[in-house]
Structure 1
Amino acid sequence: MNIPALPQNIVKSLINFLYQEAKSRGFNRVVLGVSGGIDSAVVAVLCKMTFGTHLEALLMPSITSSKNSLTDGIALCEQFDIPYQVQSINQYDESFRTNHKEANLIRKGNFCTRVRMSLLYDLSQEVRAIVVGTSNKSELMLGYGTIHGDLAYAINPIGDFYKTQVYELAKILNIPRHIIDKKPSADLYAGQSDEDELGYTYEEVDRLLFEISKMYSDLSEIDVKKFYQLGFEKEMVNSIVTRIKKNLFKRTPPAIFTIKKG
């Protein structure tokens, strides 16, 4: 049930992936959002190693963003000499809150996430760059992402890495310890924590996700009973599989009507 360790040459492979994928699309420059969290920190450092100064990081705090998120993001960029800009989205956040007073925390968070991606794509147009994503495999399987928000990108170097593997990669890249040690959070609203919402640690969840991935290419076909038999806690299996199936629509391309010929 243990997730395999990362290959020794993983950093070299990721650098080659980023370079080739950008080049194949006609780009030699990338942009990405840096949140102060571990996923964007890892991707930012990989991009710096790949593209040097042909890189722009955008830090986009909102009204409810943790102050530490901005501080940590700036410190990371300065430590690794990553070019960056800070563009507060407070005015967009405030406007949405004013015009949608009934909106819950999820709606407010999703709005801010989509504003951030809009700003990233605007920057990519300005500097002729391609947008790099920072979602890991655990988040993608669980549906921790916003359509047309953080799920909108052209290249993603860590989309096949479970969260626990991202931690392993962070240590290889010498990401600051305080970023590695902080609670995983999408920072959608004040005090939000992924693991609090899940009810389990990523270490616990990743072991289950790893077994699911081995058994199923189509996640809509998951049979929970198989994982009870493997010794996973029934309540956790039910909770995680329900979340996966509920959010599968986020991973499905838009349905397009096809005109029949003849």
Structure 2
Amino acid sequence: MGRQRTIRDQNFWRSPRLLNCTTEDKVALLHLLTAPDSNITGVYPLVPRIAGAEIGWTAEQWLQVIHRLQDEGLARYDHVRYVVWVRIWWDHHTATQVTGPKLIARALEEIRRIPSEWLDDFLRDFKERLTVNQQRLINEALRPRPDPGLEEVPIPHGCGIDTVSDQVRLNTKPQPQPQPQPLTETQTPHIASNELDLSGIPTEYRTDVCKGIVKAKATGKLRNGAQLVVSAMAERFRSASGKPQDAMALTMYLAEHLNRPG
């Protein structure tokens, strides 16, 4: 059974926040509130080409409207990570529901993926809509945990760790260091030529894109089909915002966070 997304009619068609919106702006907002890629927090990956196609626009038309929505404080879009924040999300969804036992784990996972530069603003808006107990729950769950390996260990008195015994002979011979096994170039073309269509990726970036997919797969972070990730990268290269500064890093990010269309 498909998901359901709710639009509160009074909060949309008669919202003071939308008074300056054009018809195109409202169409884009309706799509952002109901998009197949949307999640329970309203911050989710979205590729311009896919978003535009779903409402009959080009990627360029969609980006122009998104820029207007950003100027009005109704949405934010990260052109590098391909992530959108629908800032009117909680006008149509109940924030307290996502802190319930069935959704809290999923909500926390999605919150942890929010770009760091947005997180404070998101949490401020989100927690204003929660009860005191729910705010406390969110604060506790998102509090950084200490690294167990860095916990202070008591040292027994008199162990003499600050001195060196005269009877101890230090090993001064150089010890061989294990050599890391780098990702070889011979591994990368195999994936590119046998598994993926890289025609949308500029030639000089194909190796980095393939390396990103190989590394994401090796670390268990390839949560989407490899070709879907390549297509998202190709869209990034075609966009007007320019080429990514680190193609491998962006590929790894999309491999983990990009939602499947549908």
- Which of the pair has more CA radius of gyration? 2
Taking structure 1 as the reference length, the TM-score comes to 0.26
Taking structure 2 as the reference length, the TM-score comes to 0.26
